[in-house]
Structure formats: C-alpha cells, structure tokens
Amino acid sequence: MRPEILFPLFAPVTSLKGIGQRFATLVERAAGPRLVDLLWAKPVGVIDRRFSPKLKDALPGQIATLTVRVDQHFVPTSSRQPYRVRCSDETGHITLTFFRARGDYIEKILPLGEVRVISGKVESYGDQLQMSHPDHIAAEGEVELTVEPIYPLTAGLSLKIMRRAVQAAVARAPVLPEWQDPAFVARRQWPPWLDALETLHNPTTPEDLEPDRPARQRLAYDELLADQLALALVRAHNKRQPGRVVAGNGELRRKIIAGLPFELTGSQRRALDEIDADMAAPERMLRLLQGDVGSGKTVVALLALANAIETGAQGALMAPTEILARQHFATLERLAAPAGIRIALLTGRDKGKPRERILAGLADGTIQLAIGTHALFQDEVRFADLAVAVIDEQHKFGVEQRVQLASKGRGVDVLVMTATPIPRSLQLTSYGDLDASRLTEKPAGRQPIKTSVLPIERLDGVADAVGRALDRGSKVYWVCPLIEENETIDLAAAEERHAHLSERFGARAGLLHGRMKPTERDRVMEEFAKGSVDLLIATTVIEVGVDVPSATVMVIEHAERFGLAQLHQLRGRIGRGTGASTCLLLYAPPLGETGTERLKIMRETEDGFVIAEADLRLRGAGEVLGTRQSGMPEFRLADLAFDQELLAIAHDEARLVLARDPDLATPRGQSLRTLLYLFERDAAVKYLRSG
C-alpha cells in the first residue's frame, strides 16, 4: 500500500484549486493525470524577463518588462477590432492590444492614469511599439519578474495555466523523510527533496536548467536510486527462489550441432558455457543474452533449451509478436529436427481443437518445446515440467512478465535475449537484475554492409539501382518512415510509395504494414521470403527479427527521422546471408548538424555498441529521439545521456542498502520504501519479505 504521506501527490489534477475542468483536461494531456506528473514535468526552457528597458530602448522581438503609465483606452467599435490601451514612460509610447477582451476587465487591470508593470513580447506596428496580450500586468512592487520556466504544452493550454498548475502541485508536496544517505547528500551539497523540487520549478537564471545543478542532480539521483533499488529487489527475490540442477547428457545437442551448416562462433560457445554453468547450479538462472542483430542468438537459445529437454523437462520460447513467434517456430523446427524434439507453436490466434491439443501436449509433456507469444502466460497454459524459458526481445515485456512465465514451472531458468545494443552503463537500468552474456563476434562468412547516404532527390537513381539488384536475383526491403506517431499518415506514405514502385516493378513489389491482419502479414512475408514478391515496401514492422537471408538491399526513406538504434535494427535485416549487401539511407535536406552526424555514424560502422554509444551522446546534444523508439529505459527526471555517473552510484548504493537492510526495515529503509512508491516502483515492494 502506498504510504499515506504520498496520497496528496497521487490526487488527480482536477483536485487543484484554480484549475477548472477544462484546463485540467489540457494539463493532463500535457503532463499527466496526477499531481506527481506535474512535479516531474521538467522545465524545458526559461523566459527571461529581467530585461526592463525604457521605451526608447525597447526593441521589437524582445521579451521586456516595462514600467509604464496608462494614458488612454480605445474601446473597439466592432468585434473584429482589438481593444487598445496607450501607455508611456518619459522616453516613449507603446500600445497594448487585446483581442476579444472584456472592456470592464481591461479597465480594472489597467486603470487610467496609474503606473503598471507589463511584461511580454515587444512588437512593432508601423513605426510604433506594440504589445499584444502582455503575459503579466501588475502594480509596481506587486510581483518580481525574473525568469520563468517553460513547460511542454498542448494545444489550447497556455504557459500561464500550466505554470499555475505546476506551482499548485509543488505547494501540495509534503516534506518527506530523507531517504538518501545524509553524508552523501552533504558531500554533494544537494538540497532536501522538497527544496530541490521547488528549485526545479523556480529557476532564477537560464543556467538553472543545466542538468548539473544540485537540485536537478538530486532529483535525478532519487529517480535512479528508486529504479536500481527496485531492480535489486526483483533480483534478490528471484535469487531466493529455489532453482534446480539442469544438466543434460548432451545427446540432443550433439544431433542439433551435427545438423548445422556452420561452426559455432567463439562467443556462441562462451555464452553456452555460461548458460550451462547457470543451469547446472542449484540457483535459478537469470541471464541476458545480448547480441547484435544476426549474431546468432537463436542457435544458442535452442541449445540451452535442448539441455533442459535432455533431462526430460520442457522448454519455452516467448517472442513479443506473432510474426516473430512464427518465425522462431519455423527456424527452430528446422534446426531441432535432427534431434527429433517435439515442438509446438502457441499464439493468441490458435483457437478450438488445435489449441486444446497443444494445451494437452504441454500439460502431459508430449510437447517438449513451446514457442509462443504472450499467449504462453495465460492461466490455462500448464506445463508438465517447465525447466527453462527463453524470452526474446525483452524490452517489450516487463520485469513482471518475466516473473510470471518463470512461475509456470519449478525453479525455471530464464534466458532473456535482446538485440538492443544497450551501452554497458545503461545496462544497469534495463537489465540490472540479470547476469549478461554477450555475442560479440559475427558468424563467419558475413560480408560487411555497404551503407550510402543520399538526398531524397536521387530517388529515381535509387529506384534504378533497386531494379538492377532485383535483376541480379536479390530481395530488397524499402522502408517508409515513421512520421509522427500517427499510423494513418505512415500508412499513407507507405501505400503511396508502393503504388509508385508497383508502376515500375509490377507484382514483384509487395506491401507490409502494421495495420494488416496478422494472417495477411504472414502471407506477404512468406511471399517475400520464398515467393514472387522481391521488393517489400514496409513500415517499421520489419524492425525486429525478420530473417530473409537472400535480402541484400535495404532502402530507408527519411532516414533522418529514425533513431540511430532503430536504423541499426532495420539495417540488421540485411547482410544475413553470404552475399554482399547494400543499405541506402535517403534523407530530406537540409540535414541539421546532429542529423548529419547520425547518418555519418551509420555509414562508418556496423557495430551496434558503437552506434548505441553515439546515440546516447547525440541525444545528450539535445536530440530527443524518444526512448521507446530506441528501446532505452524511460526516466522522468534523470537524463541518461548526462547522468551515467549517478546511475553507477545508484547501482552500487542499491546493492549496499539491500546487503545491510534486505527488508528495508530500518528507518532509512522505511524512507526508501516511500521513495519506491513515489516513483511507482510498487511492484518491487511486494518482493520484500515483510511487504
């Protein structure tokens, strides 16, 4: 249960005084539905109102704070005209204009003959100075106008209302018990939590927005510690669960390996050794298998599964999407055939009799290996004896689900596979509860992908090149961009390109997008992999997992709109066979500095880790790519491009805390529980023995 002291912060935005229902809806849209969401709304800029010139020195285009006398009101004669108020100081005049304003209200805030302080953007109207709808109007000495925070807004929401909402939320924030080590806070000269929050939302200089300010550092560290503590709790919980000794006799493995048309790479063998050691140990395995696209994770996974199957137990492999599950099924069925492993596919699409047959097979153990989607989680899915679970592309699943799948057997060993090349520093956040094996070598025989960067004007030339590649028998991907998070627009772009390329390539051009029914999608993929479709125009649905080794060309339109990590994932769909591959990145000029740099990196390297580090660095340079896109963890206050040192400290601190106080029972432990609830890491709290 959430501690009572935090209740006010989780109240809805509508509970704020002075924010009516209409505005509350807008504030919710901009920041989130609860007060705590307002607290976490970091200012993204400031308006500096410290410039307060005499009128003769005021320049159009500037934000200025002016002290003026109200000289004359001009009441409009038609509703299309603005209400105008002429003001002056001893050096000049300015006209304030108000559209659709109530006259009595203007008269009240700008009484004739009085002196008022006004602040806003100075404009020119002919050779006259003008200011429309000043942001502030106050009597002298009533307010001190310095620097004001800017928040991300939404249509219809003014900064003024947003600021009022944030301030009201901050005012409701309670003093919370210190959860940090006081000595550490003192050494860093960090303020207490509430002070830090107030400072965050009341910058006095533009520099106060820098991430290295004590208040910002403090808040970022709080969030990181909550995250690391939660992960450490999950890890401790998992490690406490009894595991089992799983050590096969190697028989099935030998048969599978004998059937492979290639040798395992050194890193595949090393990863298997690590996995074997984990499975043979009486504790549960919780291991991350991280390897770039095409590095050969699937075979490693299958050999791990075979190890369990050799002991008479079962294995499961779970993929985030239907397409991927089917693909894994097809691959594994083929690879496992020499060993005679009985394997089944279970997805949400399986209904009726076939589904019952699969469920029965899993329950009585006749099915040794289950491949599936989320469907494997469902309650009706029972295993005779599940010993190992492999989870592909983990960032699409939560920590919770990992625990859920593992609970379907006795001491289930868990292997998580990911192709997201998360920099080592960030691995602490997404996978902080896992041990890691990395596949660093590419399988032998792979040729480097040649990547070129071209402006979109060269589209015709690109289509020619695609034509030549098709004539040589290549398969080609043509990726259309994610424009806004708007599927309809994306889809239209892909359809249009498909129509355009079909004119030239006829039925050899196919279309694949996320709005298609899964069956239809599979059919198109099938046609591309084996049939008559040679050019596949697709939205980013092909991002993960799709494996067509004969595809050797990829065109990516508007490459500048993709995140680096995403480009890397996409490009990983080619260069999987032994043929030389080419990637053409098309961009719409002009490219900014960061955009240029990003595409340059894509041209220069195929190393996912180098790309991930560059991604992080460039995002630090102000590019917001969206963490969801790149598979990076999301934080409200911490900025992982900047706060990596704090992350490492939080990681160590979390482990230290739990070593000393595993149940968070001490007074500081109690405060840390509050911290976990504050950042909504509630799930972790239930893993405390005395929740």
Residue 275, interface with ligand ADP (CB under 6 A)? no
Comparing CA positions, the residue from 199, 197, 198, 190 lying closest to residue 218 is: 190
Do 162 and 30 form a contact (C-beta atoms < 8 A)? yes
Chain residues that interact with Mg ion, rule: CB under 5 A: 243, 279, 413
Q: How far is the CB of 146 from ligand ADP (least distance, A)?
A: 54
Expressed in percent and rounded to 5, the helix, strand and coil fractions of the chain are: 45, 20, 35
Comparing CA positions, the residue from 377, 388, 225 lying closest to residue 302 is: 388
Complex with Mg ion: residue 409 or 631, whichever CB lies closer? 409
Complex with ligand ADP: residue 226 or 332, whichever CB lies closer? 332
Residue 299, interface with ligand ADP (CB under 6 A)? yes
Complex with Mg ion: residue 413 or 534, whichever CB lies closer? 413
CA–CA distance, 414 with 278 (Å, rounded to integer): 10
Residue 295, interface with ligand ADP (CB under 6 A)? yes
279, interface contact from ligand ADP, Mg ion, none, CB < 5-8 Å by kind: Mg ion
Residue 268, interface with ligand ADP (CB under 6 A)? yes
Residue 421, interface with ligand ADP (CB under 6 A)? no
* Residue in the block written with tokens 């909402």: 165
Indicate if the alpha-carbon torsion angle 176, 182, 185, 186 is positive or negative: positive
Q: Which of 326, 513, 576, 668 binds ligand ADP (CB under 6 A)?
A: 576
Complex with ligand ADP: residue 263 or 634, whichever CB lies closer? 263
Kindly state the helix (H) or strand (E) to which residue 478 belongs, with its residue range. strand 475-479
Do 185 and 225 form a contact (C-beta atoms < 8 A)? no
Complex with ligand ADP: residue 238 or 268, whichever CB lies closer? 268
Q: Which of 296, 372, 510, 633 binds ligand ADP (CB under 6 A)?
A: 296
Stretch that binds ligand ADP, among 257-265, 462-470, 495-503, 588-596 (CB under 6 A): 257-265
Comparing CA positions, the residue from 387, 409, 413, 391 lying closest to residue 401 is: 391
Q: Which of 138, 168, 264, 580 binds ligand ADP (CB under 6 A)?
A: 264
Q: Which of 53, 214, 365, 549 binds ligand ADP (CB under 6 A)?
A: 549
Q: How far is the CB of 547 from ligand ADP (least distance, A)?
A: 5
Residue 579, interface with ligand ADP (CB under 6 A)? no
Do 13 and 19 form a contact (C-beta atoms < 8 A)? yes
Complex with Mg ion: residue 149 or 243, whichever CB lies closer? 243
Stretch that binds ligand ADP, among 178-186, 221-229, 261-269, 663-671 (CB under 6 A): 261-269
Q: How far is the CB of 437 from ligand ADP (least distance, A)?
A: 12
Comparing CA positions, the residue from 509, 626, 640 lying closest to residue 561 is: 626
Kindly state the helix (H) or strand (E) to which residue 268 belongs, with its residue range. helix 266-280
Residue 294, interface with ligand ADP (CB under 6 A)? yes
625, interface contact from ligand ADP, Mg ion, none, CB < 5-8 Å by kind: none
Residue 330, interface with ligand ADP (CB under 6 A)? no
CA distance to 58, 64, 96, 130, per residue, from 125 (Å): 14, 16, 11, 6
Complex with Mg ion: residue 219 or 286, whichever CB lies closer? 286
CA–CA distance, 228 with 234 (Å, rounded to integer): 10
Q: How far is the CB of 285 from Mg ion (least distance, A)?
A: 5
Do 453 and 602 form a contact (C-beta atoms < 8 A)? yes
Q: How far is the CB of 363 from ligand ADP (least distance, A)?
A: 30
497, interface contact from Mg ion, ligand ADP, none, CB < 5-8 Å by kind: none
Residue 293, interface with ligand ADP (CB under 6 A)? yes
Stretch that binds ligand ADP, among 98-106, 193-201, 286-294, 674-682 (CB under 6 A): 286-294
Give start and end residues of each alpha helix (H) in 31-150. 35-39, 103-109
Degrees, nearest 5: CA angle 565-415-378: 100
Q: How far is the CB of 308 from Mg ion (least distance, A)?
A: 9
# of chain residues touching ligand ADP (CB under 6 A): 19
Complex with ligand ADP: residue 173 or 551, whichever CB lies closer? 551
CA–CA distance, 138 with 145 (Å, rounded to integer): 10
CA–CA distance, 287 with 274 (Å, rounded to integer): 9
Q: Phi-psi region for residue 33, left (φ > 0), alpha (ψ -120 to 50) or beta?
A: alpha
Residue 422, interface with ligand ADP (CB under 6 A)? no
Stretch that binds ligand ADP, among 126-134, 187-195, 295-303, 455-463 (CB under 6 A): 295-303
**Residue 72 β-bridge partners:** 86
478 CB-contact burial (10 Å; exposed 0-12 / middle 13-18 / buried 19+):
buried
Per-residue three-class SS string for 140-175: CCCCCCCEEEECCCCCCCCHHHHHHHHHHHHHHCCC
Q: How far is the CB of 119 from ligand ADP (least distance, A)?
A: 57
Residue 262, interface with ligand ADP (CB under 6 A)? yes
Comparing CA positions, the residue from 89, 72, 406, 424 lying closest to residue 234 is: 406
* Residue in the block written with tokens 């038609």: 78
Q: How far is the CB of 283 from Mg ion (least distance, A)?
A: 6
CA–CA distance, 341 with 252 (Å, rounded to integer): 8
Q: How far is the CB of 299 from ligand ADP (least distance, A)?
A: 5
Comparing CA positions, the residue from 636, 487, 618, 489 lying closest to residue 565 is: 618
Complex with Mg ion: residue 106 or 279, whichever CB lies closer? 279
3-state secondary structure of 186: helix
Q: What residues numbered 441-460 form the site for ligand ADP, per CB under 6 A?
A: 443-444
Complex with Mg ion: residue 413 or 606, whichever CB lies closer? 413
Q: How far is the CB of 367 from ligand ADP (least distance, A)?
A: 22
243, interface contact from ligand ADP, Mg ion, none, CB < 5-8 Å by kind: Mg ion
CA–CA distance, 265 with 445 (Å, rounded to integer): 11
444, interface contact from Mg ion, ligand ADP, none, CB < 5-8 Å by kind: ligand ADP
Q: How far is the CB of 306 from ligand ADP (least distance, A)?
A: 15
Complex with ligand ADP: residue 173 or 324, whichever CB lies closer? 324
The binding site for ligand ADP (CB under 6 A) comprises 262-265, 268, 291, 293-299, 419, 443-444, 547, 549, 576
